[in-house]
Structure 1
């Protein structure tokens, strides 16, 4: 069971790296006239974060019988849903710079919540 937990944490970190890495790659380039483009990497990174995060919570609570801080998980889920909404909108059309920057800031916020909310 510990191997499965570690594998999920590993994949969760990979999703985070892909999401933030794709964001930074887009920010370093010039926006098109219509705004910033959301890449497939941002979409896949956000989805990986969602799936592995839910699996980690389920594994922790059900299989490992460890307590879960539901408030923390709820806040992280709301932030991730906001990221996903922006990414979905950005896949259909280019995002304004402020909306695109919100994806990166919310991603970093989610990391901060994970690290500093004890």
Structure 2
């Protein structure tokens, strides 16, 4: 096994760890969905390792399916953007500066007033995008 194969295997492992972080973060908070910081970090890891894996594939001798890689890249960018926006909304919600809650009141005041978590939609989109990317990787040839 040469160095490029070892590097590829390490990147694939990190890529899968990024996916596990996104999916695990979503399922750990499924009763009250929100974008956890780990989901944002997992999306960064997925995007960066995916780009590096594409670069390795381009340097190799094998055929690269550019359409498949383009679709996966667009979805990965969307997942990262959704995670970034959701993380920002979650931070604002937790600090009490979102939805008119008094500053410093935090999420407790928002929960007491029945305000829905603003990053829930983004959490669903991050999870769905990550799953769609897996389906593209497995089923698109």
TM-score tier after normalising by the smaller chain length: 0.7 to 0.9
Structure whose alpha-carbon radius of gyration is higher: 2
Q: Report runs of 4+ in structure 1 exceeding 2 Å deviation.
A: 94-100
Determine if contact 1:37/1:93 at 8 Å carries over to the other structure: no
Given candidates 59, 67, 70, the residue that maps to 2:66 is 70
Q: TM-score scaled by structure 2? A: 0.73
1:11-35 Cα shifts (integer Å, max 9, x gaps): 11111101111111121x33xxxxx
Determine if contact 2:34/2:122 at 8 Å carries over to the other structure: no
Q: Distance in 1 between matches of 2:82 and 2:134?
A: 18
Count of paired positions: 111
Listed as ranges, the gaps of 5+ residues in structure 1 are: 31-35
Given candidates 13, 26, 29, the residue that maps to 2:29 is 26
Structure having the larger proportion of residues in helix: 1
